[in-house]
Amino acid sequence: MDGEAWLEEIRSLYRRYKERCERAAAQVSEEQLFATCGRSPHSIAVLMKHLGGNHRSRWRDFLTTDGEKRDRDRESEFSAAGETAESIRARWQEGWRIGSPSRSSRRSGPRISNARSPSVASP
């Protein structure tokens, strides 16, 4: 698989995961979005908030900075206090927007060679 095909496979996989999560979240009411289930202390809202925060921190300026960003308050991502469904979805969208592997991001990043690329399993 050449570099361009591999990159397109990554983009496709990324979109599928995001779409699956959004379809699942769309099936619950706002009350259910914030409810915990069973022994898990985390609601769907908290998981969405955390994933959005993780993407925002990990992928923002990833070519020039490494890992966690100083402005991330990871622990606050595990609380939905004061949040609304709209604010949770906004954080979610921001994180995925920052982490989205767009065609233009490749130009500013490292060159992807036509050398052997790791295979990507479909979900």
**Cβ contact 92:99 at 8 Å:** no
What pLDDT score does 65 carry? 85
CA 32 to chain CA mean position, Å: 21
**Cβ contact 35:75 at 8 Å:** no
Tell me the pTM. Answer: 0.75
Q: Which phi and psi angles does 2 have, rounded to 5°?
A: -80, 170
Write the single-letter amino acid at 36: T
Local confidence pLDDT in tens for the 123 residues of the chain: 888 899 899 889 989 999 999 999 999 999 999 999 899 899 999 999 999 999 999 888 888 888 889 899 999 999 999 999 999 999 999 999 998 866 444 444 444 334 444 444 445
What pLDDT score does 7 carry? 87
| Residue recorded with tokens 């990871």 | 74
What pLDDT score does 102 carry? 63
What's the alpha-carbon Rg for the chain, to the nearest Å? 17
Tokens of 52: 């959005």
Task: Tell me the three-class secondary structure of 54-102, residue by residue.
Answer: HHHHHHCCCCCCCCCCCCCCHHHHHCCCCCCHHHHHHHHHHHHHHHCCC
